[in-house]
Amino acid sequence: MKKKIAIFWPGDYRELPNKAAIPEITQSTEQLEKALKKLGYESYRIQGFITKPHEAIEKLSQINDPIIGMYAHWVYGPHTTDGVVGKNNPLLLVSNFSGTWPGLVGLLNTAACLEMVGRKCSRIWTDAVDWTSDKKFLERLKEWCETGQIKYRQDEISTKINITQKAQKIAQAIATAISKRRILALMLGDTSMGMINGYLGPRFLTPHGFTEHKVDQAWIIARGQKISSKRIEAAYNFVKEHGVVFHYHGKGAEDFDENATKEQLRDYLAVLDLVDEFKADCVGWQYQLGLIDLRPPSDFAEGLLNSACRPESNGEPIITATEADQGNLIPMELMKRILKAKKMPPCVMFHDVRWGKEYAGHFVWVLLNSGSCSAYAFNHDLNSLRGVHSYRQPRGYFKVPGGTFTGESLPGKITWARTYLKDNKLWMDIGIGEALKLPEQIRDELWKGTNSEWPFMAADLGISQETLMAHYLSNHIAVAYGDIFQELIALSQLLGFKVRILKAKR
Predicted confidence pLDDT, tens digits, the chain (506 residues):
668 999 999 999 988 889 999 999 999 999 999 999 999 999 999 999 999 999 999 999 999 999 999 999 989 999 999 999 999 999 999 999 988 888 999 999 999 999 999 999 999 999 999 999 999 999 999 999 999 999 999 999 999 999 999 999 999 999 999 999 999 999 998 888 778 999 999 999 999 999 999 999 899 999 999 999 999 999 999 999 999 999 999 988 999 999 999 999 999 999 999 999 999 999 999 876 678 889 999 999 999 999 999 999 999 999 999 999 999 999 999 999 999 999 999 999 999 999 999 999 889 999 998 778 999 999 999 999 999 999 999 888 889 999 999 999 999 999 999 999 999 999 999 999 999 999 999 999 999 888 889 999 999 999 999 999 999 999 999 999 999 999 999 999 999 999 999 998 76
Strand order in the sheet with 91-95: 42-50, 4-10, 67-71, 91-95, 122-125
Residue 171 and residue 139 share a domain: no
Three-class SS of residue 124?
Answer: strand
> Which residues are bridge partners to 70 per DSSP?
94
Residue 141 buriedness (CB in 10 A; 0-12 / 13-18 / 19+) = buried
Three-class SS of residue 442?
Answer: helix
**What is the chain's alpha carbon radius of gyration, rounded to the nearest angstrom?**
22
Other CB atoms within 10 Å distance of the CB of residue 323: 30
With residue 16 as reference, give the H or E element that holds it. Answer: helix 15-38
Cα gap 261→392, rounded to integer Å: 10
Nearest to 339 by CA among 491, 210, 236, 448: 491
Q: Cβ(248)–Cβ(257) under 8 Å?
A: yes
Q: Are strands 122-125 and 91-95 parallel, antiparallel or unpaired?
A: parallel
Q: Cβ(489)–Cβ(163) under 8 Å?
A: yes
Could you list the residue range(s) of the whole structural domain that residue 142 is in? 4-147
Residue 176 and residue 109 share a domain: no
Three-class SS of residue 369?
Answer: coil
Cα gap 407→243, rounded to integer Å: 12
Listed in sequence order, the DSSP H helices in 117-257 are 135-147, 165-180, 201-205, 218-224, 229-241
Residue 209 and residue 135 share a domain: no
Q: Provide the strand spans (E) within 201-308.
A: 210-215, 245-246, 282-285
pLDDT given at position 167: 98
Task: Classify residue 160: in a domain, yes or no.
Answer: no
In b/e form, how buried is each residue of 27-43, taking b as 16+ CB within 10 angstroms? Answer: ebbebbbebbeeeebeb
| Helices 165-180 and 485-494, packing angle to 10 deg | 40
Domain end residue (candidates: 82, 112, 147)? 147
Residue 350 and residue 452 share a domain: yes
Q: Cβ(256)–Cβ(362) under 8 Å?
A: no
Residue 103 and residue 246 share a domain: no
Long-range pairs, 54-63, Cβ under 8 A, ≥24: 55/79, 55/83, 56/10, 56/80, 56/81, 56/82, 56/83, 56/84, 57/82, 57/83, 58/83, 59/8, 59/83, 60/8, 60/84, 61/86, 61/87, 63/6, 63/89
Cα gap 298→16, rounded to integer Å: 20
Q: Structural domain tally of the chain?
A: 2
Residue 271 and residue 140 share a domain: no
pLDDT given at position 316: 96
Domain end residue (candidates: 85, 112, 147)? 147
Residue 478 and residue 359 share a domain: yes
Nearest to 193 by CA among 16, 69, 13: 13
Residue 102 and residue 36 share a domain: yes
Residue 264 and residue 381 share a domain: yes
pLDDT given at position 1: 65
Amino acid at 387: G
Cα gap 474→328, rounded to integer Å: 9
| Residue 476 exposure: Cα atoms within 13 Å on the Cβ side | 32
pLDDT given at position 272: 98
Task: Classify residue 450: in a domain, yes or no.
Answer: yes
CATH assignment of the domain containing 471: 3.20.14.10
Three-class SS of residue 342?
Answer: coil
Task: Classify residue 156: in a domain, yes or no.
Answer: no
Task: Classify residue 204: in a domain, yes or no.
Answer: yes
Task: Classify residue 152: in a domain, yes or no.
Answer: no
Cα gap 462→157, rounded to integer Å: 11
Residue 505 buriedness (CB in 10 A; 0-12 / 13-18 / 19+) = exposed
CATH assignment of the domain containing 90: 3.40.50.1070
CA distances from 471 to 107, 150, 153, 496, 502 (A): 12, 11, 9, 22, 10
Q: Cβ(103)–Cβ(97) under 8 Å?
A: yes
CA distances from 249 to 253, 254, 340 (A): 5, 4, 40
Residue 204 and residue 136 share a domain: no
Nearest to 321 by CA among 342, 339, 335, 341: 335
Task: Classify residue 157: in a domain, yes or no.
Answer: no
Residue 186 and residue 126 share a domain: no
Residue 308 and residue 370 share a domain: yes
Q: Cβ(163)–Cβ(490) under 8 Å?
A: yes
Task: Classify residue 154: in a domain, yes or no.
Answer: no
Task: Classify residue 241: in a domain, yes or no.
Answer: yes
Rounded to the nearest angstrom, the gap between the alpha carbon of residue 233 and the centroid of all alpha carbons in its chain is 32
Long-range pairs, 94-97, Cβ under 8 A, ≥24: 94/28, 94/32, 94/68, 94/69, 94/70, 94/124, 94/125, 95/71, 95/123, 95/124, 95/125, 95/126, 96/24, 96/28, 96/31, 96/71, 96/72, 96/125, 96/126, 96/127, 97/125, 97/126, 97/127, 97/355
CA distances from 187 to 27, 54, 287, 407 (A): 40, 27, 11, 27
